[in-house]
């Protein structure tokens, strides 16, 4: 049996970066930048402006009572130079008139009639945001190699950049196989079950930053599987197949991969999800996942997600890992690394993990209720109550 690390390393050796494409900033959120920095096209802010509603003046004229010599709002053109000994009413974001060096907030001012204002002493520069204070024109602004966040797209926007180069989303062909599968929403004939893997794999592809391409599900039929794999390999960057990879009489996925390309079949020391078919067709990686829906999702997390991220230039699983203490003993297979479905909570004395429900590889609701996978290593016969394990957070902690 291969370890999770060995299997991952072999799979990752097939990760070819997708090319860069230019997208509008409107579509850039969540995309992975293909450049490590951008050059500021303008100063940010582009002119000195007020950070408060108040009065612009010269600090040297205060404290005192000053005549009002006009008003400037956000979006107004620059006023003429401020006469010494006067003040102008100014709004947040409005340009500081030449000659003024400070702003006194409206809350600290007292009107004297309609056209004079009494102001306390202030420090020169108060409430003035200097031109280029945040970024100077021509400055290199680094972009982290991670999906663009709302704040980062805002930075790009403020720099005057309307388009950004990002990695093309890897297209992942998704194929569910099995004679027993019916579409969700269809009624079940005898012996049928609803296909849960097509939607879960498509959702996981999206979550990892890829674009799913769902192929019509096929039965346990070698020719049909071959036809789908041929189509998928022609149109996608990689293929993910569920079901039919094991050693049953009707498990044809391995033969199909073998006939169309190269196949590696591995038993991986992981629980759930021992059998995994890996290969390539026309240079496109193909991963055959076990059909049990929990196994399919866990092995997707361990192997498909990292491959997809590798194609985007991203390292690792992109998950937060925390050390969590298990509160209940959960038996497992000693030879395999278990990924227990748990609910992790933050307690006063650290992270705690509780099993989210039954740990069977078809018990989807426990996976849905879980917010983490708790990693109990090979060589242990159980996850022990009171012991601390690595928890892979699949989402936020309540
Ligand atoms: P297999 O990997 O084909 O041996 O399937 C293992 C188990 O997973 C069987 O009980 C299948 O019925 C079930 N299974 C296979 N594919 C799916 C699917 N797409 N959705 C739900 N269950 C599935
Ligand atoms: Mg099957």
293 lines ligand 1 (CB under 6 A): yes
Q: Nearest ligand to the C-alpha of residue 295?
A: 1
Residue with tokens 């990686």, as numbered in its chain: 285
Ligand 1 atom nearest to 198, measured from its CA:
19
292 lines ligand 1 (CB under 6 A): yes
246 lines ligand 1 (CB under 6 A): yes
Low-confidence ranges of the chain (pLDDT < 70): none
360 lines ligand 1 (CB under 6 A): no
Between the alpha carbon of residue 366 and those of residues 305, 330, 341, 361, 362, the distances in Å are 21, 14, 7, 10, 9
Smallest CA-to-CA distance from 55 within 26, 79, 29 is with 79
CB 143 within 8 A of CB 207: no
- Closest residue by Cα to atom 17, ligand 1, is 291
Q: Nearest ligand to the C-alpha of residue 274?
A: 1
Ligand 1 atom nearest to 176, measured from its CA:
19
Report the residue among 178, 222, 244 best suited for mutation to probe ligand 1: largest number of ligand atoms under 8 A from its CB.
Answer: 178
Work out whether strand 163-167 and strand 20-24 pair parallel, antiparallel, or are unpaired.
antiparallel
Smallest CA-to-CA distance from 179 within 244, 226, 273 is with 244
Using DSSP's 3-state secondary structure scheme, residue 366 falls into helix
184 lines ligand 1 (CB under 6 A): no
Ligand 1 atom nearest to 245, measured from its CA:
2
Distance 338 CA to ligand 2 centre (A): 23
CB 165 within 8 A of CB 36: no
Q: Nearest ligand to the C-alpha of residue 241?
A: 1
- Closest residue by Cα to atom 8, ligand 1, is 292
Q: Nearest ligand to the C-alpha of residue 297?
A: 1
Distance 236 CA to ligand 1 centre (A): 23
Distance 360 CA to ligand 1 centre (A): 13
Q: Nearest ligand to the C-alpha of residue 289?
A: 1
Half-sphere exposure of 101 (CA within 13 A, CB side): 12
CB 145 within 8 A of CB 33: yes
**The pLDDT value given to residue 247:** 86
CB 134 within 8 A of CB 44: yes
CB 288 within 8 A of CB 281: no
275 lines ligand 1 (CB under 6 A): no
**The pLDDT value given to residue 271:** 96
**The pLDDT value given to residue 265:** 86
383 lines ligand 1 (CB under 6 A): no
**The pLDDT value given to residue 313:** 98
Between the alpha carbon of residue 137 and those of residues 93, 134, 152, 195, the distances in Å are 19, 10, 17, 55
Residue with tokens 């569910």, as numbered in its chain: 176
CB 275 within 8 A of CB 298: no
Distance 322 CA to ligand 2 centre (A): 35
């Amino acid at each position: 049996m291969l370890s999770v690390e060995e299997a991952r390393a072999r799979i990752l050796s097939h990760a070819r970066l997708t090319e860069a494409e230019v997208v509008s900033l409107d579509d850039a959120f969540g995309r992975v930048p293909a450049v490590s920095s951008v050059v500021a096209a303008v100063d940010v802010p582009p002119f000195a402006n007020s950070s408060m509603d108040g009065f612009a003046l010269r600090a040297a004229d205060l404290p005192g009572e000053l005549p009002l010599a006009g008003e400037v709002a956000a979006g107004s053109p620059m006023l003429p130079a401020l006469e010494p000994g006067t003040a102008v009413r100014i709004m947040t974001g409005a340009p500081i008139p030449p000659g003024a060096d400070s702003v006194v907030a409206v809350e600290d001012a007292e009107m004297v009639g309609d056209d004079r204002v009494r102001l306390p002493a202030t420090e020169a520069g108060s409430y003035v945001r200097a031109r280029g204070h945040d970024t100077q024109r021509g400055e290199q602004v680094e972009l982290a190699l991670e999906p663009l966040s709302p704040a980062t797209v805002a930075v790009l926007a403020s720099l005057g950049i309307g388009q950004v180069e990002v990695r093309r989303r890897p297209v992942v062909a998704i194929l569910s196989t099995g004679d027993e599968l019916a579409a969700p929403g269809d009624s079940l004939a005898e012996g049928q079950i609803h296909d849960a893997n097509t939607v879960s794999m498509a959702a996981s592809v999206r979550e990892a930053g890829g674009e799913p391409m769902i192929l019509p599900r096929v039965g346990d039929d070698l020719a049909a599987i071959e036809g789908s794999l041929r189509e998928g390999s022609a149109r996608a960057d990689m293929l993910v197949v569920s079901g039919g990879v094991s050693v049953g009489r009707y498990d044809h996925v391995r033969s199909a991969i073998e006939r169309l390309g190269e196949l590696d079949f591995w038993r991986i020391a992981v629980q759930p999800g021992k059998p995994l078919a890996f290969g390539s067709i026309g240079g496109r990686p193909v991963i055959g996942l076990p059909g049990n829906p929990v196994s399919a999702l866990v092995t997707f997390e361990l192997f498909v997600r990292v491959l997809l991220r590798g194609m985007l230039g991203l390292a690792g699983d992109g998950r937060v890992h925390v050390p969590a203490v298990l509160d209940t003993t959960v038996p497992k297979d000693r030879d395999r690394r278990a990924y227990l479905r748990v609910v992790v909570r933050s307690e006063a004395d650290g992270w705690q993990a509780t099993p989210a429900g039954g740990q069977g590889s078809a018990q989807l609701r426990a996976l849905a209720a879980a917010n983490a996978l708790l990693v109990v290593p090979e060589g242990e016969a159980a996850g022990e109550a009171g012991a601390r394990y690595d928890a892979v957070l699949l989402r936020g902690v309540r």
